[in-house]
Each structure stands twice: as structure tokens, then as C-alpha cells.
Amino acid sequence: MLDDRDHLLLTLLQDDADRPVAELAERTALSPSACSRRIQRLRDEGYVLRRVALVDRARINLPTTIFVIVKTSQHESGWLEEFRAAVNAVPEIVEVHRLTGNFDYILKLVLPHVEHYDVVYKRLVGRVSLFEMSAYISMETVKSQTALPTRYA
């Protein structure tokens, strides 16, 4: 069970995981050693999965976002494993979600430019059979955040 300090620690760590323990301790009204133990417990219990660096997409020439809607006529386990392997083999595909409704999957791609979509498309369809694919170019990112609300734990 998480308490208010744990929730605050998770929020602060999501904002900047490189914050010094002394600062985290001060913000949570804990001693540095108690704060460090709590952070370790949150890791041990699986609340903190890993620490990562967020990279500026524009600086590394990946400013374009394309969402691809996929329909498939196949749902057997062999095809699902092929699909998982295919999307995992394409680094430009950064998210894949299985959906309810009229479509089976939505893929999020990050690309240097729109024309590069054809390269990714050919790599994907060369690895797995798909019934239908429709691409949608993101014109603007209205909201993008990595931090999750912590009050539900």
C-alpha cells in the first residue's frame, strides 16, 4: 500500500529521475536515508520499472509522427507471434496497441520525414501479412507526457 509520500516520490521521480536524494528527501519531509530506502522499496516492488532518458526527437531528426491503423483477417497465435516479431524489428514503431472495435491495432511511428513511411511500410509488410493499413500524419502534438497519475495505486 502506498502512502502520500510514496505517491509524491513517484511523481517527482517521473518528472526528473536524476534529482538528488537530498532534494527528494526535502520535498517529501523524509531523511535522505529514509527517502533512499523508500525509493529502493518502490523499485523492488515494481512501481519503478527503470530509469530512462527522454531524447529530443527534433534534435535527432525524428520530428514526424504517423499513426497507422491495421486490420487483419488472421487472429491465430502463429500470426500474432509473427506480428509481434515484425513490429519489434522496426525501431521507428515506438508503440503498438491492440484495439477493440473496427480495427485491430494502432501503431505509432516516429520518422525523419513523411516519405520515410514507405520504407517502414515495406519492411513491415515484408515480414507479416496484413489485411489493411491506413496511415494518419500527426499535424500537431497537443499533449504528450510520460508521467502517469500516481493516486490510483
Q: pLDDT digit string (tens) for 7-66?
A: 999 999 999 999 999 999 999 999 999 999 999 999 999 999 999 999 999 999 999 999
pLDDT, residue 75, reads: 82
What top-level class would CATH report for the domain 64-137?
alpha beta
**Pick from 11, 31, 25, 29: which is nearest to 147 by CA?**
11
Fold identical between 4-44 and 64-137? no
**Mean residue pLDDT across the chain:** 96
Calculate Rg over the CA atoms of the chain.
Answer: 20
Domain ranges (residues) in the chain: 4-44, 64-137
DSSP three-state, residue 131: coil
Q: Does domain 4-44 have CATH number 1.10.10.10?
A: yes
Helix ranges (H only) for the chain are 4-15, 21-28, 32-44, 77-88, 117-125
Q: Rounded to whole angstroms, how far apart are CA atoms 111 and 62?
A: 5
